[in-house]
Amino acid sequence: MADYSVIGAGSWGTALARVLAKNGHQVTVWSIMEDEIAMLKEKHEHESKLPGVKLPESICFTTDLKEAIENKEMLVLAVPSPFTRSTARSMAPFVKEGQLIVNVAKGIEDKTYMTLTEIIEDEIPGAKVAVLSGPSHAEEVGKDMPTTLVAGAFRKETAEYIQNAFMCDFIRVYTSPDVLGIELGGALKNVVALAAGIADGLGCGDNTKAALITRGIAEIARLGVAMGGKLESFTGLTGIGDLIVTCSSMHSRNRRAGMLIGQGYTMEAAMDEVKMVVEGVYSAKAAAGLSKKYQISMPIVQEVNDILFGGKPASEAVKDLMFRDKRSEANSLTWEE
């Protein structure tokens, strides 16, 4: 039995803590919010974010970050992406050299364009940082529904350690050395999911959704490969797999926010209605900035930014996407003479 901590008591952190505890590990869950920890201690259930999912009595809960970090074999960092840097900075004094930190949030910092593992390495230079990602809604993991994830790390033994910690009868974990590709897929799909939700809110159909998913992964892969990610990651679970589930599921906060925007809500009103961090909003600016930096065409990402931050009507954005200049779908293919 190993001793682990989950830093962040949101729906995903809570679901993963439950998985680790059910696998026989000692688990501590940390939150900065005293009322949240009090509720978890009393109910052993996150009544607002993961209702109906009972947590093992063996899980410990604390607001003491030092207690949550010291003498733990693995730290699972599960705070929303906008809080990754501030949380990592608070963790740094208590993290030992070589401490394994597994990031499970998805996002890109809008000012620096850094991925979340890069942020953690920046704030905690001595840590061993890895990522766990894939198509995985906490609501389904909490009900033991079959789910697949990818553990990404720079060294094979690190990825396999994470794989062994989380793998169980309803979670299958694969390994990969492409940490950058995994993180880019997880962050950028949230922006495309906003677009899918906006289309749903406008009353568009299945054809539109299929087009957004297909052309969306093309944009993500173009940028990701240009930045150094591997194409296999974007055609796999952390690319097209995560994109499909986030664009199609009502569990997706990004899709739900997009639907509200498509129905006429402002970005701020939509985020208030969803009542959870809509990470695609934070990643959208970074994605647009990266597309310019690497000179990669990302029309869906650009239209999402114009809607979110430029006041562009969603219906006009759809028309502009449809009436762009004609082009071939696959530029690498050749025609017969």
Within a domain: 194: yes
Work out the number of other CB atoms within 10 angstroms of the CB of residue 71. Answer: 8
Within a domain: 13: yes
> Considering 144, 177, 210, which residue would you say is the last residue of a domain?
177
37 and 140 share one domain? yes
The answer on pLDDT for 26 being more than 90 is yes
271 and 282 share one domain? yes
127 and 187 share one domain? no
Phi and psi for 97 in degrees, rounded to 5?
Answer: -60, 130
Work out the number of other CB atoms within 10 angstroms of the CB of residue 335. Answer: 5
> Considering 177, 209, 244, which residue would you say is the last residue of a domain?
177
Domain of 23, CATH number, reads 3.40.50.720
Q: What is the pLDDT of residues 173-183, one digit of tens each?
A: 999 999 999 99
Q: Give residue 43's pLDDT.
A: 95
Output the pTM of the full model.
0.94
Q: Give residue 324's pLDDT.
A: 86
Q: What is the pLDDT of residues 54-86, one digit of tens each?
A: 999 999 999 999 999 999 999 999 999 999 999
63 and 75 share one domain? yes
Q: Select from 56, 65, 50 the least CA-distant residue to 27.
A: 56
Q: Active-site residue 189, yes or no? A: yes
**Which listed residue (189, 209, 230, 285) is catalytic?**
189
75 and 194 share one domain? no
54 and 173 share one domain? yes
Within a domain: 233: yes
Q: Give residue 199's pLDDT.
A: 95
Q: Is 222 exposed, middle or buried (0-12, 13-18, 19+ CB in 10 A)?
A: middle
Domain count, the chain: 2
162 and 289 share one domain? no
Q: Give residue 271's pLDDT.
A: 87
> Considering 120, 150, 177, which residue would you say is the last residue of a domain?
177
Q: Give residue 296's pLDDT.
A: 97
The answer on pLDDT for 331 being more than 90 is no
Within a domain: 336: no
163 and 190 share one domain? no
185 and 170 share one domain? no
| Cβ atoms of 37 and 66 closer than 8 Å | no
Residues of the domain holding 302? 180-322
Within a domain: 333: no
Could you tell me which residue, 260 or 330, shows the higher pLDDT? 260
Q: What is the pLDDT of residues 29-50, one digit of tens each?
A: 999 999 999 999 999 999 999 9
Give the residue-averaged pLDDT of 137-145: 96
Q: In the predicted model, what is the mean pLDDT of the chain?
A: 95
Q: What is the pLDDT of residues 282-308, one digit of tens each?
A: 899 999 999 999 999 999 999 999 999
159 and 196 share one domain? no
158 and 248 share one domain? no
120 and 159 share one domain? yes
Work out the number of other CB atoms within 10 angstroms of the CB of residue 337. Answer: 3
The answer on pLDDT for 145 being more than 90 is yes
Q: Give residue 323's pLDDT.
A: 87
